[in-house]
């Protein structure tokens, strides 16, 4: 990978963070004037402008520069945020996101023309009497003077107690493609070791690309010449010239003070040496590398089981001891790897306020969106499949759930509806709840639509329970919308949600109260790669059942089995349980003496098995595309003896 491509990936990653920050604070600003939000927006826009200019993405730089001009006026109080301006700025953020997508794909963002939006912003600037903002004057106490021609001899340079003062000249290599970026990295390294007093050109000028390759600066530091030179040097830095300047003696300085000063410096040395040894604490790692490491860890888990089985068969004491050490190391490595892959739900949650805002504005509704539990973590593999389901549910909550302000008032409710998204951990699972205080689900309307679409007969619809009627919402092509809009009515939505959640080995449950609102509850496993299972045997064939689905293990007495309709049931602890025979999967057995009681949502059933071999931690591999999706099977695992065992999917077995 070329150095420019490395810079490109770093630019995209950092710009996406600034873009997300920009959108979130723009939404905060719609609620009312917030100086902190204004400052954060200005900082994000300024950073996006500077980095895009450094990388040569002129169209993005031009758009961000105009946005910065707008916010300079808002920042200094010359203008206020309006609804129309907010819509325009959010449209600008949409275009910036498209530009970042284009850059990430290898483009230069030139295919995304910002002229229309830039024109709208400049028109707004013209109406407020500014072609561009005037830069506010910095307070005198904070002003940093330009570097004098003779470095280190300016009478304006304050006397510093932060250590000796140095004059430095940093020259970036002439063939460096991004001189400004390289210079800013060197300056950042130096700032960590001391206080920069003067710099020519200024940091802002370098950030804006006004840089010929040479930086002159003066700084105070206790780190020493070698440490400062090492911090400034790096790839594509041609030279670093450094020399200590002589600080002018104070008029009242005495010999006693001169003796005391080295002692004070000596006392300050420990924290300075700590700064010299400062280490890089965080690294950006490509997700494909983490996936590759995870695959290797999964192979280790499989072979750990194989080695353990060999050791048990041959009864070799020394091998047992070695296997125990390997097993502990693999377990720690596996746990560490799973932790590294865990990502806070806030990565998804933070994108949703914009969705709520746009849908509410489109429907002319007033909605307050509350998010809780964004710090709850999920594995990246689960997180990747969660974005679309949450998007569908959020849009449905605002579009179908929350009523128009006038309707809410007539019903005795507040004009502004509330949509609450929360997440928390429950034992080994993560539960995400989306609640609205809207009209709830109209069960009769659902039945009527199902009859109109030919999904169910009228007489059968009349006998449906509330739970069965709600299940109709998850059928493909079903929608209760009376007309097709950009938001709803196209029959694509909750069926996609259900399929997506079940593909993540999760479940979805709906509770609704007419006139009060609805709650959608998603129950998700924290990870899908490595799970605890119970190995069972039927007709000498092994099956794996996820421990998370098992309620209990009980004895099976065939004389307690009864026939109801087309299925068999049995009584267990005064509860009628449906029996799931796996004859089609593994064949019929007459020796089934054990019942594995499993649960999906609130429905229990039981699976008769011949024997239980025990609990085991396994790696679940998905079925190949050649085999396709098989009902009741979530994947396969390889045991220590090399046996390939199907892993049951309780979610789909009961459908």
CA-only gyration radius of the chain, Å: 33
Report the C-alpha gap between 618 and 298 in whole angstroms: 8
Residue 223, token pair as written in the block: 């780190």
Residue 497, token pair as written in the block: 């949600």
Q: Residue 429, CB half-sphere, CA atoms under 13 Å: how many?
A: 18
The separation between CA 373 and the C-alpha centre of its own chain, rounded to angstroms, equals: 13
Stated as kind and residue range, the H or E segment containing 592 is none
Taking the alpha carbons of 470, 474, 476, 478 in that order, is the dihedral positive or negative? positive
Task: Check whether the bond before 317 is cis (ω within 30° of 0).
Answer: no
Burial 486-511 (b: 16+ CB within 10 A, else e): ebbeeeebbbebbebbbbbbbbbebb
- Alpha helix segments (H runs only) across 473-618: 494-503, 583-586
68 noted as active-site residue: yes
Report the C-alpha gap between 99 and 119 in whole angstroms: 18
Report the C-alpha gap between 650 and 607 in whole angstroms: 10
Report the C-alpha gap between 59 and 643 in whole angstroms: 58
651 noted as active-site residue: no
Annotated catalytic residue within 20, 68, 120, 165: 68
Is beta strand 517-524 parallel, antiparallel or unpaired with respect to 611-619? unpaired
Contact, 23 vs 90, CB < 8 A?
yes
46 noted as active-site residue: yes
Distance from the first to the final alpha carbon of the chain: 49
> Apex CA 388: angle with CA 384 and CA 389, to 5°?
105
Question: Three-state SS for 400?
Answer: helix
Stated as kind and residue range, the H or E segment containing 466 is helix 466-472
Annotated catalytic residue within 18, 216, 396, 399: 396
Contact, 180 vs 236, CB < 8 A?
no
Report the C-alpha gap between 340 and 377 in whole angstroms: 11
Q: Which residue has the tokens 């396969």?
A: 636
CA nearest neighbour of 476 among 461, 460, 496, 457: 496
Annotated catalytic residue within 46, 65, 197, 392: 46
Report the C-alpha gap between 547 and 646 in whole angstroms: 14
Stated as kind and residue range, the H or E segment containing 390 is helix 387-396
Report the C-alpha gap between 419 and 476 in whole angstroms: 25
Catalytic residues: 46, 68, 396
């Amino acid at each position: 990978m070329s150095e420019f491509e490395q810079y490109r990936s770093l630019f995209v990653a950092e710009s996406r963070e600034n873009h997300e920050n920009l959108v979130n604070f723009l939404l905060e600003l719609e609620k009312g004037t917030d100086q902190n939000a204004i400052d954060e927006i200005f900082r994000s826009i300024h950073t996006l402008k500077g980095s895009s200019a450094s990388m040569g993405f002129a169209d993005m730089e031009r758009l961000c520069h105009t946005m910065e001009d707008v916010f300079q006026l808002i920042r200094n109080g010359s203008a206020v945020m309006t609804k129309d301006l907010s819509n325009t700025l959010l449209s600008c953020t949409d275009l910036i996101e498209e530009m970042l997508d284009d850059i990430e794909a290898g483009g230069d963002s030139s295919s995304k023309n910002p002229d229309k939006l830039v024109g709208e912003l400049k028109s707004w600037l013209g109406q407020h009497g500014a072609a561009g903002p005037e830069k506010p004057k910095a307070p005198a106490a904070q002003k940093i003077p330009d570097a004098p021609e003779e470095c280190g001899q300016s009478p304006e340079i304050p006397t510093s107690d932060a250590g000796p003062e140095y004059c430095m000249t940093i020259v970036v290599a002439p063939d460096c493609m991004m001189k400004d970026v390289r210079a800013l990295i060197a300056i950042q390294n130096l700032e960590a070791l001391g206080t920069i007093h003067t710099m020519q050109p200024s940091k802002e000028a370098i950030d804006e690309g006004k840089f010929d390759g040479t930086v002159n600066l003066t700084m105070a530091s206790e780190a020493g010449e070698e440490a400062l030179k090492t911090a400034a040097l790096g790839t594509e830095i041609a030279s670093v010239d450094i020399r200590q300047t002589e600080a002018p003696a104070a008029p009242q300085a005495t010999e006693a003070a001169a003796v005391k000063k080295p002692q004070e410096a000596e006392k300050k040395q420990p924290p300075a040496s700590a700064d010299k040894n400062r280490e890089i604490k965080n690294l950006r790692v490509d997700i494909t590398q983490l996936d590759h490491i995870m695959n290797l860890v999964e192979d280790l888990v499989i072979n750990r089981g194989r080695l353990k089985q060999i050791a048990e068969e041959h009864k070799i004491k020394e091998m047992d001891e070695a296997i125990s050490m390997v097993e502990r190391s693999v377990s720690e490595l596996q746990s560490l790897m799973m932790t590294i892959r865990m990502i806070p739900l806030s990565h998804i949650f933070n994108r949703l306020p914009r969705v709520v805002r746009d849908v509410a504005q489109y429907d002319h509704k007033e909605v307050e969106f509350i998010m809780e539990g964004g710090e709850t973590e999920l594995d990246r593999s689960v997180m990747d499949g969660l974005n679309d389901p949450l998007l569908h549910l959020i849009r449905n909550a605002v579009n179908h759930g929350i009523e128009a302000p006038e309707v809410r008032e007539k019903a005795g409710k507040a004009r502004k509806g509330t949509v609450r998204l929360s997440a928390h951990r429950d034992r080994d699972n993560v539960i995400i709840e989306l609640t609205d205080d809207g009209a709830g689900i109209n069960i009769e309307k659902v039945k009527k639509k199902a009859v109109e679409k030919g999904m169910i007969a009228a007489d059968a619809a009349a006998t449906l329970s509330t739970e069965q009627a709600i299940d109709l919402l998850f059928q493909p092509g079903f929608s209760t919308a009376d007309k097709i809009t950009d938001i709803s009515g196209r029959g694509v939505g909750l069926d996609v949600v259900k399929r997506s959640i079940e593909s993540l080995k999760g479940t979805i449950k709906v509770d609704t109260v007419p006139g009060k609102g609805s709650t959608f509850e998603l129950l998700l496993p924290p990870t899908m790669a490595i799970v605890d299972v119970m190995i069972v045997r039927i007709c000498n064939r092994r099956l794996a059942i996820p421990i998370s689905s098992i309620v209990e293990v009980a004895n099976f007495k065939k004389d307690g089995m009864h026939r109801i309709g087309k299925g068999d049931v049995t009584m267990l602890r005064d509860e009628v349980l449906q029996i799931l025979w796996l004859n089609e999967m593994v064949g019929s057995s007459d020796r089934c003496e054990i019942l594995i009681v499993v649960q999906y949502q609130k429905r229990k059933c039981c699976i008769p098995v011949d024997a239980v071999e025990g609990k085991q931690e396994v790696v679940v591999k998905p079925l190949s595309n050649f085999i396709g999706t098989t009902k009741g099977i979530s994947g396969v695992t390889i045991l220590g003896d090399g046996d390939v065992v199907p892993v049951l999917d309780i979610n789909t077995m009961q459908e």
